[in-house]
């Protein structure tokens, strides 16, 4: 039967079992029951006539949900919360009268959403830490490996592989801080009633305001929260959903940036995602090594970014104390966002654990471009030896254009350095040229920035030793 009906790819193909479990019907509705138990326990402790036997009966049936019976009730009642109240009451006949006492539907639906958001953020933060740690290891390993930097995807000044990896890490750390802040700042709805005034509970406790406030705090603490909304309508403000999904979308944007960079680097044959021995890159082209994991990260990230608009519209269109037009939307948007983010992080973890760098290709690309980048350094060195700056500048311009023409029109290697060495006007020896072309002079503080950054962020307790470049610039 599973192959005859639509199954979300997020559940069947991409996301983890733990995230799927979190947004499953079992977790959702057993959480509703835990909330009903917490409400009954708190009301009993504050003096309402609820017996310990009733609470025990409710507790014994928290996880034993008869979904078929609940579905049957919902077909009759057209109300999912009322259907589950009846299904629960059938299992707990002695406690029937005290289930959901004084509450409205959003007591279980909204508070459960917040619990799922909290647990979902915990899963995401754990996986994001792993990704950052793996990228930090990669950055440490290649902190001093020189490579071409690119602006506009055109060769620019040199950088290092480790420095580039730190750019990715920095974005992910900002996402971690934002997601962690959202997790810590989550507020529980608590026990607020139909319009948020707690009037029904005030009636239950004979106008005792202190007991109603104590009830709100008690349920909040029982469900593991230390912060709650003091003010609400029937629902908690959808601003909270918006802020959470903004943070998830931020991670999606960082993931997309990383994966896009990796796809460009794969084209250059400098860095690749892991590629398994029997993996097929193309049905038609056996040689292909398509960066499919990175492409999938981009694809899922784009979907996650599109979900970011939903909670903003939902928040903006809430009517006064509540409107039900958010319900179906949030049933889709919240789980899909968390499942998508989870899937992205699983892919990021796989990619960052097996990144493959090719220093020889990096050295080759440097060899092709560095002679042009070094012309200013060569000019200064020759002038120091007594050369005429204007004459030497014109010679460098002419030689550079000739070399560029040979590269573009004839497919020849870059021989600019050889021609400069042969020209007596520059008065430079091969040894002096090699000193000018020392890679460390062109990467600036990139290696030191890697060490400083990783140490400052607690990702690298000890600086790495410099890795000697493999390229000998002068043939």
Above 60 in pLDDT, residue 278? no
Confidence of residue 96 (pLDDT cuts 50, 70, 90): very high
Confidence of residue 354 (pLDDT cuts 50, 70, 90): very high
Q: pLDDT at position 461, please?
A: 52
Lowest mean pLDDT among 85-94, 254-263, 287-296, 333-342: 287-296
Query: What are the Cα distances from residue 114, in Å, to 15, 28, 183, 218?
Result: 20, 11, 10, 17
Predicted confidence (pLDDT) per residue in 142-190, tens digit:
999 999 999 999 888 899 999 999 999 999 999 999 999 999 999 999 9
Above 80 in pLDDT, residue 54? yes
For residue 145, give every residue at least 6 positions away whose Cβ sits within 8 Å of its Cβ, in sequence order, or none: 160, 161, 162, 357, 359, 362, 467, 469
Above 50 in pLDDT, residue 465? no
Above 70 in pLDDT, residue 282? no
Which range of 275-289, 301-315, 372-386, 455-469 scores highest in mean pLDDT? It is: 301-315
Higher-confidence position of 285 and 376: 376
The pLDDT of 296-301, averaged and rounded, is 97
Class of CATH domain 109-148+161-276+286-357: mainly alpha
CB 191 within 8 A of CB 216: yes
The CATH number of domain 361-449 is 1.10.40.30: yes
Q: pLDDT at position 472, please?
A: 39
The CATH number of domain 17-98 is 2.60.40.10: no
Q: DSSP characters for 328-364?
A: HHHHHHHHHHHHHHHHHHHHHHHHHHS-EE-HHHHHH
- Beta strands 271-272 and 146-151 are unpaired
CB 467 within 8 A of CB 161: no
Q: pLDDT at position 5, please?
A: 82
d(C-alpha 259, C-alpha 172), whole Å:
13
Q: pLDDT at position 172, please?
A: 98
Instruction: State the virtual CA torsion across 252, 355, 263, 281 in degrees, nearest 10.
Output: -110
- How big is the CA angle at 221 (ends 217 and 222), to the nearest 5 degrees? 115
Share of the chain above pLDDT 90, in %: 71
Lowest mean pLDDT among 267-271, 349-353, 438-442: 438-442
Share of the chain above pLDDT 70, in %: 93
Confidence of residue 471 (pLDDT cuts 50, 70, 90): very low
Question: 3-state DSSP call for residue 155?
Answer: strand
Predicted confidence (pLDDT) per residue in 365-422, tens digit:
998 888 888 888 888 888 988 988 999 999 889 988 988 888 888 888 888 888 888 8
Confidence of residue 4 (pLDDT cuts 50, 70, 90): confident
Q: What are phi and psi of 170, to 5 degrees?
A: -60, -40
Q: pLDDT at position 381, please?
A: 87
Above 50 in pLDDT, residue 123? yes
d(C-alpha 402, C-alpha 379), whole Å:
17
- For residue 393, the number of C-alpha atoms closer than 13 Å in the C-beta half-sphere is 4
Structure tokens at 473: 């610039």
Angle between helices 105-141 and 80-91 (to 10 degrees): 100
Q: What is the domain partition of the chain in residue ranges?
A: 17-98, 109-148+161-276+286-357, 361-449
Q: pLDDT at position 469, please?
A: 39
CB 175 within 8 A of CB 185: no
The catalytic residue among 45, 126, 282, 429 is 282
Give the count of beta carbons closer than 10 Å to the beta carbon of residue 310: 20
Query: What are the Cα distances from residue 259, in Å, to 153, 355, 396, 445?
Result: 15, 12, 39, 26
Query: Which pTM does this prediction carry?
Result: 0.89
Residue 282 catalytic?
yes
d(C-alpha 227, C-alpha 142), whole Å:
44
The pLDDT of 423-433, averaged and rounded, is 86
| Residue with tokens 């003091």, as numbered in its chain | 230
Above 80 in pLDDT, residue 281? no
Q: pLDDT at position 474, please?
A: 41
Residue 3 catalytic?
no
End-to-end CA separation in angstroms for the chain: 68
């Amino acid at each position: 039967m599973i192959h005859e009906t639509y199954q979300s790819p997020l559940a069947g193909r991409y996301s983890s079992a733990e995230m799927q479990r979190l947004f499953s019907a079992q977790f959702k509705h057993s959480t509703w029951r835990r909330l009903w138990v917490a409400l009954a326990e708190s009301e009993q402790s504050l003096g309402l006539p609820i017996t310990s036997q009733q609470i025990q009966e409710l507790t014994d049936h928290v996880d034993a949900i008869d979904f078929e019976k609940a579905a049957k009730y919902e077909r009759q009642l057209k109300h999912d919360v009322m259907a589950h109240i009846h299904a629960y009451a059938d299992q707990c006949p002695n406690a029937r009268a005290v289930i959901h006492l004084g509450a409205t539907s959003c007591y279980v639906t909204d508070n459960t959403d917040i619990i799922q958001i909290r647990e979902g953020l915990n899963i995401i933060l754990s996986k994001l830490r792993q990704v950052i740690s793996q990228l930090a290891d990669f950055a440490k390993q290649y902190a001093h490996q020189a490579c071409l930097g690119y602006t506009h995807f055109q060769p620019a000044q040199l950088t290092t592989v480790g420095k580039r990896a730190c750019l990715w890490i920095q974005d992910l750390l900002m996402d971690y801080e934002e997601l962690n802040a959202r997790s810590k700042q989550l507020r529980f709805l608590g026990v607020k009633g139909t319009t948020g005034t707690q009037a029904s509970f005030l009636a239950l406790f004979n106008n005792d305001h202190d007991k109603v406030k104590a009830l709100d705090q008690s349920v909040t603490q029982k469900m593991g929260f230390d912060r709650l909304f003091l003010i609400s309508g029937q629902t908690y403000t959808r601003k909270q959903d918006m802020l959470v999904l903004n943070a998830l979308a931020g991670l999606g944007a960082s993931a997309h940036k990383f994966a896009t960079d990796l796809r460009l680097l794969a084209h250059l044959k400098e860095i690749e995602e892991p590629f398994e021995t029997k993996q097929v890159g193309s049905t038609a082209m056996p040689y292909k090594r398509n960066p499919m994991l990175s492409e999938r990260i981009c694809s899922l990230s784009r979907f996650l970014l599109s979900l970011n608009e939903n909670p903003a519209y939902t928040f903006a269109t809430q009517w006064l104390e509540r409107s039900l037009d958010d319900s179906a939307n949030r049933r889709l948007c919240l789980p899909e966002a968390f499942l998508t983010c989870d899937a992205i992080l699983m892919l990021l973890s796989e990619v960052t654990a097996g990144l493959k760098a090719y220093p020889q290709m990096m050295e080759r690309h440097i060899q092709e471009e560095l002679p042009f980048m070094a012309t200013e350094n060569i000019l200064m060195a020759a002038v120091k030896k007594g050369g005429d700056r204007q004459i030497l500048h014109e010679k460098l311009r002419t030689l550079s254009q000739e070399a560029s023409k040979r590269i573009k029109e004839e497919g020849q290697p870059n021989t600019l350095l050889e021609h400069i060495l042969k020209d007596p006007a520059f008065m430079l020896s091969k040894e002096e040229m090699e000193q000018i072309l020392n890679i460390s002079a062109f990467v600036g503080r990139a290696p030191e920035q890697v060490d400083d950054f990783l140490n400052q962020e607690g990702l690298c307790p000890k600086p790495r030793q410099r890795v000697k470049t493999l390229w000998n610039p002068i043939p």
